[in-house]
Structure 1
Amino acid sequence: MTAEISNLLLGPRPIWPIEIVRGRNDRVWSADGQSYYDFYGGHAVALTGHAHRRVRRAVLRQMRQLIFYSTSTGLAIRNRAAEALVRRLPQGLGHVFFSNSGAEANENALKIALKLTGRNRLLAFQGSFHGRTL
């Protein structure tokens, strides 16, 4: 990545002087052909590795039907995912909440905690990471 391009991009941390151009399973490759193990794990909700055959097939199958729709309506694939997750939860836990990022998940966890406890204050730690939206 050229210095000119990296100077155009804003972010919460420095941008490394490397350009990743492709990935396969647990490895990524830079523009100069160097291969790396990907210990990054994915950003937001993308932690399935790179171009895994089964994930690719499932994504393509779903994209042929519908890429995204609001959580305000029923959606068969979301319902199946919720049922599969609830079956794996410990006894007494029977609900799931889908969101598209860690920030959303954290914000909603805070809202749920306040609602369930009836409290209106939170303890927060200065300098801790909770997401990028608050």
Structure 2
Amino acid sequence: MFKRFGLFASIAITSMLVLVACGGDDDGNGNDNGGSSVDMEMGEMYFDPDEVSADAGSDLTINFDNAGNQLHDFTIDDFDGERVHVEVVSGDQESVTLTMPDEAGEFEFYCTIPGHRDAGMHGILTVN
């Protein structure tokens, strides 16, 4: 009986080692087309950072954290022909993944809550 248990244990351990050795080394910080990510805090009248850049044709994931006491949003009116709009309730987090256009350019992002953009809650996304 102990011989069978030893054989079973050896097979189980070998199987686990093979699975671990065959696992990928993806750390989750990118994607297949050279993507990247950025953590962006939003609060009363600010985005931090307020300047973000990414390579043309790549994906950019923006992880938002609303540290403010009210609803804020992230909006780009014309991002490669599309409108981007992400609302984040106070204390919550949201994410969006954007595929960068194939050509370089600059895109203003801002908060659409009345008065926030005028008070300085805006920034620039640069496509290199």
Range class of TM-score, shorter chain: under 0.3
Query: 1 or 2, which has the higher strand percentage?
Result: 2
Larger Rg: 2
TM-score, normalised via structure 1 length: 0.19
